Structure 1
Amino acid sequence: MERCVRAVQSKDARFDGWFFTAVLTTGIYCRPSCPVVPPKPENMRFYPSAAAAQQAGFRACKRCRPDASPGSPQWNERADLVARAMRLIADGVIDREGVPGLAARLGYSTRQIERQLRAELGAGPLALARAQRAQTARLLIETSSLPMSDVAFASGFASVRAFNDTVRQVFAMSPTELRDRVARGHPAATSGALSVRLPFRVPLCPDNLFGHLAATAVPGVEEWRDGAYRRTLRLPHGHGVVSLRPTPDHIACRLHLADLRDLSIAISRCRWLLDLDADPVAVDDLLRTDPSLAPHVDKDPGRRVPRTVDPAEFAVRAVLGQQVSTAAARTHAARLVTAYGEPVDDPEGGLTHLFPGVDALATLDPETLAFPRARRTTLTTLIGALADGGIDLGAGSDWGRARELLAALPGLGPWTVEIIAMRALGDPDAFTPTDLGVRTAARALGLPVTRAALTRHAAAWRPWRAYAVQYLWATGEHAINRMPA
């Protein structure tokens, strides 16, 4: 509790999303960095989630908007049941499948899920999903001109009455009052086009993050245009197109969605793609303890791990990229997109297709693939395992189990498995000691270069070895290390 009080008194933004502060005298809850004068410690109460604060009867602060703070980094760092459940809730599983669907995906009973979430977060899965719906509702109310009934259902509420009651309880204003409050001088977006800010914990180094995504972009699916990374999205209720532009204090996100019910899921996947819920201070503090890495961390602190919006897509692309150049991997992927991808309209750029889903790819003829027969077998076997559910790389997947199943497939060696673990599963400790770029950087920094010796040295970087890889890669001259001009 004393640490929480100190964080609130110093308005320390590093703790935003880690916990929430409720104030007994005002009945509101805030993020730790709220700019208002801190309350007396005896009037503070601390909650591990916004949902827990809401259940206790507190409403969200209108000044600091705690519901819009970066998410807790724990859910992207950990592989246990609670973390897996939180990733699935963020991906909208409860709205689509209910609590039984969440439990089935995790392999536990609904009672076990409820008990563990309440013990750690102070709220059960329904309350956590309700808090997420409230945040989505606020975004749509403030940034669109949609009728409130459309906002209600797009946010995931079962009725307009439930929508109205939740908005009043959480924000102490009616939906109309909330829209009027921000509408003055700010024209609302038209239906289907939404602009939102994606917050992050500072520092953030955008160079390798956006440089990697731009350098490996698959034509038709991804592009770099006017200082922004753009791509198509396959979402539960339709498709989308997103534009992500780095600014000093947030990522500017512009979304075109076929179905607005996908808003919160699209935002969650974009945050995951850019690793925006990471704790860069904790990562960099540990990596600085290695004298070889310290100068590179000090030069460009806050490097993130570029991830993916679609784990199955990335796994397929990882196989396409085995033992070939970045340009060749893009060419192979572009051919699959043209042959099997679903065409889409891009109102603002040159995107043409969704990356093909595994069901579509399961119909491909391996003889049409322009690479060695062994890699054709690897690709088709992987696609089959993903299509029939034999391997789960989704938000709630078990990282260890996924690694074991991937490694058992023909042609998937340690490098491919760890790259998939790093960027598709999101394991922050994934490590690729045999990667050419890693070995080249290790040699230049005077580190061991053999797999066993480098792995032993890298034990000191745990649990952040995936981030150490980003700093090692950044010592080279590859295009992935810089944003396009």
Structure 2
Amino acid sequence: MHTDTERCVRAVQSKDARFDGWFFTAVLTTRIYCRPSCPVVPPKPENMTFYPSAAACQQAGFRACKRCRPDTSPGSPQWNARADAVARAMRLIRDGLVDREGVPGLATRLGYSTRQIERQLRAELGAGPLALARAQRAQTARVLIETTALPMAEIAFAAGFSSIRTFNDTVREVFALAPGELRARAAKRSAGPGQSPAPGVIALRLPFRRPLNPGNLFGHLAATAVPGVEEWRDGAYRRTLRLPYGHGVVALSPRPDHVACRLSLTDARDLTIAISRCRWMLDLDADPVAVDDHLRTDPLLRPLVERAPGRRVPRTVDADEFAVRAVLGQQVSTAAARTHAARLVTAHGERIEDPEGGLTHLFPTSRALAGLDPEALALPRTRRTTLTTLVGALADGSLRLGVDSDWDATRARLAELPGFGPWTVEVIAMRALGDPDAFLPTDLGMRRAAAGLGLPATPAALTAHAAGWRPWRAYAVQYLWATDDHPINHLPD
């Protein structure tokens, strides 16, 4: 979009927040870059230039605006709506892979050479993977500086910088303030009445594009919560997180203009990936206006969209975990699926401490489950075979699920496993892989909703009708599910 100058200028002049994250405005006279909705008086059009990423702005010598804080804007929705190499690379960079494995690790995961990845990212984003990762490190450093009392040296290494000097230079270059000045400004903003986070807890805001309907999003997560791993407490969805350097507990609460996030981590180096996975789980980088406008073109869906716009697709923080839970949920109630999962957690999960709530375990890894005794599972024999085959494939690496998965290839691989029918494959594609066009025409709730609205009720006929909803059929599923008065569609009391 950043190449459409006229459209970008109109968005900046109208301060249209829908375009935050789609592009960034760099002001030639001040050498500052902003989000489109920046509250300051827009510059003259001839003084504006546009970039596709914050990293491209920084690489061109612009520093972040102190008013609109463009580095904290929602991510571009295109990276979650596409399955090509650039989109998969961006999801992996957001997940912290470059910091952990470098550009060669990124290229290996995608099956390309480092030169090919560099070229593709520069062509579309104006910056290579190192610059994109550097911009993300700067934002992580800012969060730690402003929300914790950690010493600057610890923050530097937790954010992924190789030295304190590089950390200091990057913060000054990106924010035009030294790290100590950033912390002092944050302290002034937070002065006055209000509750400070507990020691060791990082409190931050997760931005999103409006509208956001929290009912189906948090309702689904709370209604399907596995005891010990997830809970709804004091107006927040809480869960444990298994992370590269340790583990954590997150509490997420919907607010009118953001999602309040409280993170407790055993290792601060996991902050970037924890934030990324929470945003992914809540689908916060979606463009709900574009999705809803498209679905409204179907007269039968329009009333559902108008009644409660902004539905998101609830995803997961751990694709392997969700695949296991999908198998446990085959042809049983939500309550039964939670019970089966809770038994696995108690028997094979790793215990943790949760001073602020009732969480007790991390969900077991595929390796921990690979050695379980099938006879110990209170499941039909065929379901036991399905589960043990799945965890075996995940443990030995012959099946890999994640944000970088090729959606069609992974569907084909899942379909080869015993007991994996269309429903299981598509629900994993929707919630674990993040395919916005995943579709569940055989789902009982879908078929009931379709019949009630006058849509075709048979899977084949419903699929044919839903061709007009592409590429957003996963969102259409959320609207159709919402016609049922099920706990997944409501915030808990």
TM-score normalised by length of structure 1: 0.99
CA–CA distance in 2 between the matches of 1:280 and 1:196? 23
CA deviations on 1:355-380 (whole Å, 9 max, x unpaired) are 00111011111110001111100001
CA–CA distance in 1 between the matches of 2:177 and 2:439? 48
- Residue aligning to 2:144: 140
CA–CA distance in 1 between the matches of 2:210 and 2:253? 16
- Residue aligning to 1:105: 109
Q: What SS does the corresponding residue of 2:371 show, helix, strand or coil?
A: coil
- Residue aligning to 2:13: 9
Determine whether 1:82 maps to 2:86: yes
Which of residues 26, 47, 50 is equivalent to 2:54? 50
Determine whether 1:388 maps to 2:408: no
Q: CA deviation at 1:181?
A: 1.1
Q: CA deviation at 1:425?
A: 0.2
**For residues 24-173 of structure 1, what are the structure 2 equivalents within 5 Å?**
24-173=28-177
**For residues 395-474 of structure 1, what are the structure 2 equivalents within 5 Å?**
395-474=403-482
CA–CA distance in 1 between the matches of 2:385 and 2:316? 24
Whether the aligned pair in 1 keeps the contact of 2:403 and 2:434 (CA below 8 Å) is: no
Which of residues 284, 303, 309 is equivalent to 1:301? 309
Determine whether 1:222 maps to 2:226: no
Determine whether 1:323 maps to 2:339: no
- Residue aligning to 2:178: 174
Unaligned runs of 5+ in 2: none
Which of residues 337, 342, 346 is equivalent to 1:338? 346
Percent of residue pairs bearing the same amino acid type: 79
Determine whether 1:239 maps to 2:247: yes
- Residue aligning to 1:267: 275
CA deviations on 1:260-281 (whole Å, 9 max, x unpaired) are 0000100000000000000000
Unaligned runs of 5+ in 1: none
Q: CA deviation at 1:190?
A: 5.9
**For residues 195-214 of structure 1, what are the structure 2 equivalents within 5 Å?**
195-214=203-222
CA–CA distance in 2 between the matches of 1:374 and 1:265? 36
Distance 1:366-1:396 versus aligned 2 partners, 3 A rule: same
Amino acid at match of 2:62: F
Q: What SS does the corresponding residue of 1:425 show, helix, strand or coil?
A: coil
CA–CA distance in 2 between the matches of 1:467 and 1:397? 20
CA–CA distance in 2 between the matches of 1:64 and 1:75? 23
CA–CA distance in 2 between the matches of 1:327 and 1:440? 20
Q: What SS does the corresponding residue of 2:417 show, helix, strand or coil?
A: coil
Q: CA deviation at 1:191?
A: 5.4
CA–CA distance in 1 between the matches of 2:403 and 2:333? 29
- Residue aligning to 1:255: 263
Whether the aligned pair in 2 keeps the contact of 1:235 and 1:266 (CA below 8 Å) is: yes
Amino acid at match of 1:10: S
Amino acid at match of 1:313: E
Amino acid at match of 1:280: P
TM-score normalised by length of structure 2: 0.98
Whether the aligned pair in 2 keeps the contact of 1:144 and 1:190 (CA below 8 Å) is: no
Aligned residue pairs, count: 485
Q: CA deviation at 1:12?
A: 0.4
- Residue aligning to 1:350: 358
Whether the aligned pair in 2 keeps the contact of 1:192 and 1:260 (CA below 8 Å) is: no
Q: CA deviation at 1:189?
A: 4.9
Whether the aligned pair in 2 keeps the contact of 1:146 and 1:191 (CA below 8 Å) is: no
Runs of 4+ in structure 1 off by over 3 angstroms are: 187-191
Amino acid at match of 1:167: V
Q: Which is worse superposed, 392-401 or 111-120?
A: 392-401
Amino acid at match of 1:351: L
Amino acid at match of 1:357: T
Whether the aligned pair in 2 keeps the contact of 1:192 and 1:259 (CA below 8 Å) is: no
Question: Over aligned residue pairs, what C-alpha RMSD do you find?
Answer: 0.8
